[in-house]
Structure 1
């Protein structure tokens, strides 16, 4: 659903000659990233416990709660991915989460991102994903 709206907006923007007109006519479809609201929505939709997600993420408890409360404004991409894995999100849901956290989407041409995409698809835990990253010689892990 979101993808269709995004494609529609992209096509309109390509054809538009007046930026102000585009912004005015499409303001209801242009939204700002709100990580706190998106995380809350994911918890409700997937019927997940915030406590369990944080525990499974391997993140520092205090830090993770600050992400969920909106107090931590710029969590790193790796921390967001740890939350995505602990919530067992799929690739699309993870990319939406990354967008709400103001980070780039996963990119399959990037070796590290490809490993993360595979881990998401296979529902790996954060620990198993870190082991996979190390196994394939990646220096950066999720924490």
Structure 2
């Protein structure tokens, strides 16, 4: 496995095969993840296990996994990029009270958790609208 300058994990064929094997072993009824250190076994939290299973699935299928970090506080430009909207649209959302923000001097800043919550809420609305369309289609 080789890391490039963007922290992308580039798995070779053998590593893809190994990822698939580990994923198969984890998909059984007792597929809980654990860490063994000095003969002591410590189970991993379920959330961490799901994350690792997702990574293994992507690697097994030959996909690319990008590892990055997001600061707790975002600029308006960065927040707009995460939401897939323009900065003026983001500022309207802030002004309308749709998205909490705070000022650092004269600059508007947003908590990453608030931005992700807004993104999740928008995706939920989109899924609900799509389901409504599908229900209408099924009714014809």
TM-score (norm 2): 0.26
Q: Which has the higher contact order (CA 8 A, sep 6+)?
A: 1
Q: Which of the pair has more CA radius of gyration? A: 2
* Greater per-residue strand proportion: 2
TM-score (norm 1): 0.26
